Amino acid sequence: MKRFHMHMSVADLDRNVKFYSTLFGTEPTVRKPDYAKWMLDDPLVNFAISTRNAKTGLDHVGIQVENEVELADIHSRLARADQDMLVQSGTSCCYAKSNKYWVQDPQGIAWETYQTLEAVPVFGDGAVVMKPDADAQAACCVPGR
């Protein structure tokens, strides 16, 4: 089963947690001082917010997969999309260790496809995710944002 993923940067985490908890009818699955995530079953989405980016709004979208087979399938499709791809194995981001593929769509929106391996106690390992040109937006876990 695949789950749609969306991450937004927010200025006021508490205010946004209250809003999205009301909207979704449930409290976050994960809550940290700078991050919150809802793993919703209806709609089937992994919706995350954080205060880690200076610019508020949409940070990136993606697809979270359950296993290596689903990840390999998405990787195969992305390889045919004729976009630069960044591969990350065992990287820590958003309090989770994951294997990931990053691409940017033709508009410059970062797409993250990933399999979560385990929870970790830190937001990220400081790895640069993707910023192939000066105009492209970078995805989460990029230092200096």
Q: Hey, where are the domains in the chain?
A: 3-119
Gap between the terminal Cα atoms of the chain: 32
Reported as a pLDDT band with limits 50, 70 and 90, residue 139 is very low
State which H helix or E strand residue 31 sits in: strand 30-32
Q: Grade residue 141 by pLDDT with cuts at 50, 70 and 90.
A: low
Q: How many angstroms separate the Cα of 10 from the Cα of each of 15, 51, 52, 104?
A: 9, 5, 8, 21
Residue 43, pLDDT above cutoff 80: yes
CATH for 3-119 is: 3.10.180.10
What pTM did the predictor assign? 0.78
Residue labelled with tokens 């709609």? 43
